[in-house]
Amino acid sequence: MRWRPGGVSDDVEDRREEGGGLLAGRGVHVGVGGAVVLLVLSVIFKTDLFALVGAGTTGPATGPVAARGAPPRAPSPEEERRVQFVSFVLDDLQTSWEKEFARTGKSYPHAKLVLFREETRSGCGGAEAASGPFYCPADGKVYVDLSFYDELRDRFGAPGDFAEAYVIAHEIGHHVQSLLGVEGQVRRMQEEYPDRRNALSVVLELQADCLAGVWAHSTAQRQLLESGDVESGVAAASAVGDDRLQRLAQGRVAPETWTHGSSAQRVQWFRRGLASGRVTDCDTFRAAH
């Protein structure tokens, strides 16, 4: 992706020096294999499963858990490059959505993006790296531990700048849904029809994928995409499909438990937004009926 480092976005809230230590001494311990399973399932369900089971890890503690009170870890040049890239993508996304909202006479209040290490607090409760990036509608903020991008590249096989950009674009898509009232409507329907909770979650997530594609379309129009970028974004969408993550975590697929959609569905809706660049083509709810 063509971009230039330009400092840290005014919409980035940097909490990387605040994380660490809060998990030390919690209840049940799990081994490395169990931790991997919890990690993958937490990404699937965007739920802090480590907190639910009160889990730590066996063996020598590392990082913030072992170093309560230690001085913050100095960021590497690669991490600082990522901060610059995240800032560029975030600003570009929000400028694009400002223009899109303005076409319909609406204003677009910016989301904030919180960078943290290991854990932090959100308006939706505790946030941990194991949960993966997420958007909290209660405070209008996206939460990202930059180490997730290493997981995306190394564990899920989706490297590249545009794979990282897709993740942010998807979460900002949730911000757009919140501003449009879609997210609130879905939450109310989930309370009214609990048997449809997962199905409603899937169409909400697929719409966020499509909205990420709408932004990707605009980057193509502005010649910001380079060779391989579309493939990188598609690979990221595919990598976090529920079916693929379930195979990694448990060796089998259970569609009735999906909350985000299959790899094929996520790619399909990302590509739809990418191809048309129109929000009206992202009606995953109508397509589900």
pLDDT tens profile 108-141? 999 999 999 999 999 999 988 888 899 999 999 9
Structure confidence at residue 159 (pLDDT): 81
Model confidence at 90: pLDDT above 80 = yes
Confidence label for 65 from pLDDT (cuts 50, 70 and 90): very low
Cβ neighbour number for residue 106 with a 10 Å cutoff? 11
Confidence label for 144 from pLDDT (cuts 50, 70 and 90): very high
Give the CA-trace dihedral at 247, 252, 255, 259, to 10 degrees.
Answer: -40
Model confidence at 51: pLDDT above 50 = no
* Run of H or E including 29: strand 29-30
Confidence label for 55 from pLDDT (cuts 50, 70 and 90): very low
Confidence label for 27 from pLDDT (cuts 50, 70 and 90): very low
- Do 240 and 205 contact (CB within 8 A), yes or no? no
Structure confidence at residue 71 (pLDDT): 55
Model confidence at 36: pLDDT above 50 = no
Long-range CB contact pairs, 118-122, < 8 A, 24+: 118/19, 118/20, 118/23, 118/63, 118/64, 118/65, 118/145, 119/19, 119/20, 119/22, 119/23, 119/64, 120/15, 120/18, 120/19
Model confidence at 44: pLDDT above 50 = no
More confident residue, 67 or 186: 186
Q: What number is the average pLDDT over the span 202-207?
A: 96
- Of 11, 53, 9, 4, nearest to 31 by C-alpha is 53
Structure confidence at residue 179 (pLDDT): 97
Confidence label for 279 from pLDDT (cuts 50, 70 and 90): very high
Structure confidence at residue 32 (pLDDT): 32
If you average pLDDT over every residue of the chain, what do you get? 83
Structure confidence at residue 37 (pLDDT): 42
Confidence label for 78 from pLDDT (cuts 50, 70 and 90): confident
Q: Rounded to 5 degrees, what are φ and ψ at 185?
A: -60, -40
Structure confidence at residue 72 (pLDDT): 59
Structure confidence at residue 58 (pLDDT): 33
Confidence label for 241 from pLDDT (cuts 50, 70 and 90): very high
